[in-house]
Homo-oligomer: A and B are copies of this chain.
């Protein structure tokens, strides 16, 4: 017996901000599991900014866009997986996935909501945890600035820094998000980078300067932060969302990198798999903080695989608050 399923393929490589026409939703048949195979019904799929980079030369044209997904086993001929098991894997964006079991990780839906395994307890969460504590070498009580602070990574960065006794400033792209940063996530100060004088905000909120700037965006916020870094400050480079889509008319970089010299600032690129050996400790810490009410998280959930391209495009105009997800099926 076979099943008809839909998947999102990359149709053309975007020049600048991706358009709906760069993607194609394709229906195809998927067979029942063979010996040692498992069929997964994907429930939530993750929509992440880093995928923009992979569209440049990694994802193949006509192939499925791949990303993090959580789903349920609906047929199994694999001894380790039973119908009803929940798993995460990296083979979204598709409604179903036929696996040999090697690329699946079981998750417990009673410990946390399924969607959390793609966000605060998944790779975005690990990015925040490892990026801030390991690459950023955060010390208790320091001054932290995080851009894209209402996103899945940024909101956890700010909350971890608060747990460590830091003074935390965040930027976001709407007044509503700014209010949430302060009132819900407990940031000390936040501003709307589209309308505020970034330099003045940093001067006011962190008069002693910035020890760690957690960099998600690039552009004018990086340039402003460089002028405010303290001696021996650190800039973990997590993303530069403002620069991913620039294509041929790419914006200039910061003209004040030389400010790093005298202040011995360290800037360092980071990629989440570097922290994979911290995953157990990360899940224990963040899981406990969630339980204690010290860490909160938001999700923006769109429905149906057809909404995936537009959800992805909206990441670059700030259409999400917290983790951007597409729900493909009921739990």
Task: Give A residues with C-beta under 8 Å from B.
Answer: 53, 218, 222-223, 237-240, 243-244, 246, 250-258, 260-271, 274
Q: How far is the CB of A157 from chain B (nearest CB, A)?
A: 16
Query: What are 27 pairs between A and B in contact, CB < 8 Å?
Result: A53-B262, A218-B258, A222-B257, A223-B253, A237-B257, A237-B258, A237-B260, A239-B258, A243-B255, A243-B258, A244-B258, A246-B255, A250-B256, A251-B255, A253-B254, A253-B256, A257-B267, A260-B269, A261-B270, A261-B271, A264-B269, A264-B270, A264-B274, A265-B268, A266-B266, A266-B267, A266-B269
Nearest residue, chain B, Cβ from A274: B264
Q: What chain B residues lie within 8 Å of A261 (beta carbons)?
A: 237-240, 269-271
Of B244, B250, B253, B274, the contact of A253 (CB 8 Å cutoff)? B253
Q: How far is the CB of A280 from chain B (nearest CB, A)?
A: 22
Interface of A is mostly: loop
Verify B253–A263 contact, CB threshold 8 A: no
Q: What chain B residues lie within 8 Å of A222 (beta carbons)?
A: 257
Q: What chain B residues lie within 8 Å of A257 (beta carbons)?
A: 218, 222, 237, 240, 243, 253-254, 267
> In the complex, A270 Cα to B268 Cα: how many Å?
15
> In the complex, A250 Cα to B122 Cα: how many Å?
42
Nearest residue, chain B, Cβ from A54: B262
Q: What chain B residues lie within 8 Å of A237 (beta carbons)?
A: 257-258, 260-261
Q: What chain B residues lie within 8 Å of A239 (beta carbons)?
A: 258, 261
Verify B262–A268 contact, CB threshold 8 A: no
Q: What chain B residues lie within 8 Å of A267 (beta carbons)?
A: 257, 260, 266-268
The 7 A-B residue pairs with the shortest CB-CB distance, nearest first, are A252-B252, A253-B253, A260-B269, A261-B269, A240-B258, A253-B254, A266-B268
Q: What chain B residues lie within 8 Å of A254 (beta carbons)?
A: 253, 257
Verify A252–B250 contact, CB threshold 8 A: no
Nearest residue, chain B, Cβ from A229: B269
Verify A265–B269 contact, CB threshold 8 A: yes
Interface centre among A218, A238, A264 (most CB of B within 10 A): A264
> In the complex, A127 Cα to B113 Cα: how many Å?
54
Nearest residue, chain B, Cβ from A235: B267
> In the complex, A53 Cα to B259 Cα: how many Å?
10
Q: How far is the CB of A257 from chain B (nearest CB, A)?
A: 5
Q: What chain B residues lie within 8 Å of A250 (beta carbons)?
A: 255-256
Nearest residue, chain B, Cβ from A232: B269
Q: What chain B residues lie within 8 Å of A240 (beta carbons)?
A: 257-258, 261
Q: What chain B residues lie within 8 Å of A251 (beta carbons)?
A: 255
Q: What chain B residues lie within 8 Å of A246 (beta carbons)?
A: 255
Of B238, B244, B264, the contact of A268 (CB 8 Å cutoff)? B264
> In the complex, A254 Cα to B244 Cα: how many Å?
14
Q: What chain B residues lie within 8 Å of A256 (beta carbons)?
A: 250, 253
